[in-house]
Amino acid sequence: MPKSITVDRVSKTYGSGEDAVHVLDDISISIPEKQFVCILGPSGCGKTTLMKMMDGLIDLSAGEIRIGDNVITEPTPEAALVFQNFELFPWRTTLENVELGLEILGVDKSTRRERARTWIDRVGLDGFEESYPSELSGGMQQRVGLARALCVDPEVILMDEPFGALDAQTKDKMQTQLLQLWEQEKKTVVFVTHDIRESIFLADRVLVMGTKPSSIVEDIEIPFERPRWKRRVEIENDERFAEIEQLLRERLGLKAEEEPEVVQ
């Protein structure tokens, strides 16, 4: 069952004294169950730090994070994290990588293999069960990572720039496949990205983080109805898409520079 995420006045500081680096400052976010939220922000603003704190991988300096009613203090099977660099074990096959989370949870071999094969099929990798990561393209490796996350049936999926290393065409296909799976599963999703257009196409809401020490400087509701994956061109040509893109660019400090004077 999907659950809500609450980030309540969270701050993060590395080090102490003169060497202290204040990364996150008093961040509060409320994400209802089944909502798809994208987080945008400049490089180094703490997006990945916030994501890892949601997954219980990094301690908080102040505040509290909850999934449903459960306070997150350590990694939990309620959340699954999908990384940009795939994080697949090179000595394990596709099947063995996908079933890894279930193996860690102590699920018996027969059950976990059946569930892993189901998700391998659902992400379009049927026939590649015995392939190793080195034998798969970047897009295929990321589908393995996505299947591994979904295989444990988490309440929340955390995705840290999962398509950032992919070429444009593969990224387009992965965005479409992700939306198709999300429409079927309706998990709560938090998706970190640098890609403004990606965030508008995927999300119900886009949160913008400022520079360090970071806080949420904008929270934008995306108005386009779902399902969207069938209407990508229509949505991206909608004048509201351009307006939201311009607003996000401004909040990220990416305003277009004035035209230079023409010397006669």
Q: Does 12 fall in a domain? A: no
Q: Which pTM does this prediction carry?
A: 0.89
What SS3 class is residue 17? helix
C-alpha pair distances (Å), 68 with each of 2, 32, 34, 209, 228:
9, 9, 12, 23, 27
DSSP type of residue 263: P
Q: Return the pLDDT at 256.
A: 55
Q: Does 25 fall in a domain? A: no
- Distance, in Å, from the CA atom of 213 to the CA atom of 100, rounded to the nearest integer, reads 36
The domain tally of the chain equals 1
Q: Does 233 fall in a domain? A: yes
Tokens of 154: 């988490």
Q: Does 5 fall in a domain? A: no
- Distance, in Å, from the CA atom of 58 to the CA atom of 225, rounded to the nearest integer, reads 35
> Which residues, other chains included, contact 189 with Cβ-Cβ below 8 Å and sequence gap of 6+?
35, 36, 37, 156, 157, 158, 159, 182
Q: Return the pLDDT at 263.
A: 47
CB-neighbour burial class of residue 159 (10 A; exposed 0-12, middle 13-18, buried 19+): buried
- CATH code of 159's domain: 3.40.50.300
Measure the CA angle with vertex 151, ends 226 and 143; round to 5°.
65
DSSP type of residue 229: T
Q: Return the pLDDT at 236.
A: 96
- Which residue is it, tokens 């990416």? 254
Measure the CA angle with vertex 3, ends 225 and 219; round to 5°.
50
What SS3 class is residue 2? coil
- Specify which residues 30 forms β-bridges with: 6
Q: Does 259 fall in a domain? A: no
Q: Does 138 fall in a domain? A: yes
Domain encompassing residue 50: 34-58+73-208+223-251
DSSP string, 91-116: TS-HHHHHTHHHHHTT--HHHHHHHH
Q: Is 153 left (phi over 0), alpha (psi -120 to 50) or beta?
A: left
Contact 170, 205 (CB under 8 A): no
> Which residues, other chains included, contact 165 with Cβ-Cβ below 8 Å and sequence gap of 6+?
84, 85, 138
- Alpha carbon 174 to chain centroid, angstroms: 13
Residue 138, H or E segment: helix 138-151
168-185 vs 138-151: helix axis angle to the nearest 10? 20
Q: Residue ranges of the chain with pLDDT lower than 70? A: 255-264
Q: Does 141 fall in a domain? A: yes
Q: Return the pLDDT at 90.
A: 94
Q: Does 236 fall in a domain? A: yes
